[in-house]
Amino acid sequence: MHRLPIKRVLTNGYVVAVIATAIVAIIQYLLLPLFTGSPPLLLFLLGVALAAWQGGFGAGFLATVLSTLSAIFYLIEPYQSWQIFEEKEWLRAMLLLIVGGVLGLMISLLRSGERKALLEVLRQKERLEREIVERQKAEQALNAAHAEVVNERNRLEAIMETLPVGVAILDAQGGIIGANRAVDQVWDAPCPPVRSVDDYTVFKAWWADTGKPVQPDEWAPAQVLKKGEPVVGQLVEILRFDGVRASIHNSAAPIRDASGRIAGAAVVVMDISESVKREQALRESEERYRLAIDAAQMGTWDWDLESHKVVGNARHAALFGYPPKETVMDEHMISDRIHPEDLPLVSAAVDEARDHQFRYDCDFRIVWPDGSVRWVSSIGEFHYNAQGTPVRMIGVLRDITDRKRAEEALREADRQKNEFIAMLGHELRNPLAPIRNAVQVMRKLDTHDPKLQWARDVVDRQLDHLVRLVNDLLDVSRIVQGKLTLQTTLVDLAKVVTQAVETSQPLIDSRHHTLSVTMPEEPIYLEGDEVRLVQVISNLLDNAAKYTMEGGHIWLTAVAENGKAIISIRDTGEGISSALMPHLFDAFTQATRTLDRRQGGLGLGLMIVQKIVEMHGGQVEVKSEGLGKGSEFVIRLPLCEQVCVVPKA
């Protein structure tokens, strides 16, 4: 069930008029026996007043009418009748009606005025509260703005202090209001008090282009305050307060107030001394580079892979047979001048350098319009973007025609030299056999003449030496021409060592050396040319004997280790200098050594040793701690990989 809205009913003026009138009528009707005369009708005015107070004039007038009707019907004789016989009762009823109406009107007006006053008070209160709220908001906004200004000032100060350039704020007269530490660092001391442009005389400076002194009114901030336009890029040389000169970059811009008037200026000053020095050094370096390029008669080129244009200097154009002013060429102008036989080589070199990020290095021929051919050497490098794509290639080009001709002449001379050595070896070999026969005939003749015996022995020894020299010449000729061959068989290393020792023993004995030979108990077998291997070991033993002072010691050691036969020949001889070591196995190296040449030789033995060892798949190396400390030659040869059948003796 819905509850009766009592509060709403009681606040309705008309309902209150009905209820109040009924209550007063009932009370008076019940008290009617107590009155000796007519009951007082003015009691109805209480209900009228209550109704008018609650509901206004309409409710009060309704209460007045109801009160008048209730009085006529219940309280005026005859009771419970609408008739009135006495005139005074009519007056009482009319008086109740008039007074009730007037009272309702007055209370209504009073209530209305009270309500208006209350509404006005409420409006004033609301306006006051709104103003308070707005004032609080304004104060909060002001506080927030103040905090933001403080924060912004702090941020600005922090930024200024961290800037690598000097920043100063000036007032309208040019006085310094504030500056960061970088300004003091530029001048190497705190700036003195500056209150106006006239105080700029404390700053000593000269214009970088003319060298004239900078006047106070010529500084950037002075110009800004005077003309109101920014001044950017003053380049001046200053005298710092510590007496050192420095180059600075000076700029300024105006600061205007709300009305647009100039209120000051912002100045930025930067020490560019190091940059000036680097630029000067770069200019000098570029000048030296240009002079070096010109002196070397080199052409420079820059190939843009996107536009397919090649930009070079005048020398580059001249090398390709174009006029010197033709410094910008396309790819076809370049390729048209490259010799057709060399064009694939150049293209392959460019592709390999681009794909593998190698340095491009290629020699090729250029055909000039008159048909002449020039050799050039081109070197360059690719440059790549962030994605790794080549975008350009730069390099140099130089004429190597004379060098190529010299190389060709050298190759021809080398070929002729080899042919001469081969021919000389064969021609020298021809008379050796008759001489050998003549010596043998002399030995068979029974003569006791000591001079004749001495002469025969001298010829015999020198003949052996000459045979060895001729054989060395022939071996070198075969090696150079690629005609040296091996007769590979199963070789017992012990047998090779024994034969080599037998061959070199006479020389070793003649020098009064001690030879120590160490061989493993187990046999060592190799696949190789027995004669050539004997030649290798014998040559090394002969060298050890020749270059060791008389009465020295020579060690020959052979071992099998890690699938290789290792043969070491060590001596107590004169040793080898570090300067000679890299060239020891070159042909005719002996001519550059300061060693005992009494034993002769052409300096070909070590070259022959190295080539023969390499043909057997081995290596030879030399060790020496220096002159006077002996030397050691180590040969490594692969052992027989297959099952070796030992030949029967």
CATH of the domain at 438: 1.10.287
- Residue 97 domain-assigned? yes
Residue pointed to by tokens 């009064």 = 512
Helix (H) or strand (E) holding 167: strand 166-171
Tokens read off for 67: 């009160």
Distances, alpha carbon 247 to alpha carbons 266, 268, 276, in Å? 20, 14, 7
Tell whether 615 and 501 lie within a shared domain.
Answer: yes
The answer for residues whose C-beta is within 8 angstroms of residue 563's C-beta and 6 or more apart is 638, 639, 641
pLDDT for the residue 125: 86
Helix axes 605-615, 450-481, angle to 10 degrees: 50
pLDDT for the residue 296: 59
Tell whether 588 and 617 lie within a shared domain.
Answer: yes
Residue 465 belongs to what domain range?
409-474
- Residue 349 domain-assigned? yes
CATH of the domain at 368: 3.30.450.20
Backbone angles phi, psi at 637, to 5 degrees: -125, 140
- Of the three residues 451, 474, 497, the one that is the final residue of a domain is 474
Alpha-helix residue ranges (DSSP H) falling in 4-43: 6-10, 13-30
- Residue 157 domain-assigned? no
Residue pointed to by tokens 């033709």 = 326
Tell whether 431 and 456 lie within a shared domain.
Answer: yes
Highest average pLDDT, of 11-15, 29-33, 279-283, 364-368, comes from 364-368
Tell whether 454 and 542 lie within a shared domain.
Answer: no
For residue 649, pLDDT beyond 80 = no
Tell whether 558 and 634 lie within a shared domain.
Answer: yes
Tell whether 206 and 331 lie within a shared domain.
Answer: no
- Residue 287 domain-assigned? no
Tell whether 214 and 310 lie within a shared domain.
Answer: no
Tell whether 526 and 628 lie within a shared domain.
Answer: yes
Q: How many domains does the chain have?
A: 5
For residue 590, pLDDT beyond 70 = no
Give Cα 305 distance to the centre of its chain: 24
Distances, alpha carbon 10 to alpha carbons 7, 18, 480, in Å? 5, 11, 138
- Residue 1 domain-assigned? no
Tell whether 45 and 26 lie within a shared domain.
Answer: yes
- Residue 158 domain-assigned? no
Tell whether 490 and 599 lie within a shared domain.
Answer: yes
Range in 219-233, 244-258, 635-649 the model is least confident about: 635-649
For residue 593, pLDDT beyond 60 = no
For residue 577, pLDDT beyond 60 = yes
Determine the 3-state secondary structure of 248 from DSSP: strand
Distance CA 171, CA 169 (A): 7
Residue type, 423: M
Contact 296, 313 (CB under 8 A): no
- Of the three residues 127, 146, 179, the one that is the final residue of a domain is 127
Helix axes 44-55, 13-30, angle to 10 degrees: 170
Tell whether 413 and 393 lie within a shared domain.
Answer: no
CATH of the domain at 495: 3.30.565.10
Contact 519, 492 (CB under 8 A): no
Strands 514-518 and 553-561, by their bridges, are: parallel
For residue 10, pLDDT beyond 60 = no
Tokens read off for 283: 């200019």
Contact 571, 625 (CB under 8 A): no
- Residue 58 domain-assigned? yes
pLDDT for the residue 433: 61
Give Cα 396 distance to the centre of its chain: 26
For residue 142, pLDDT beyond 60 = yes
Tell whether 192 and 310 lie within a shared domain.
Answer: no
- Residue 257 domain-assigned? yes
For residue 431, pLDDT beyond 70 = no
Helix axes 530-546, 493-510, angle to 10 degrees: 30
- Of the three residues 370, 399, 428, the one that is the final residue of a domain is 399
Contact 358, 346 (CB under 8 A): no
Q: List beta partners, residue 250.
A: 234, 269
For residue 648, pLDDT beyond 90 = no
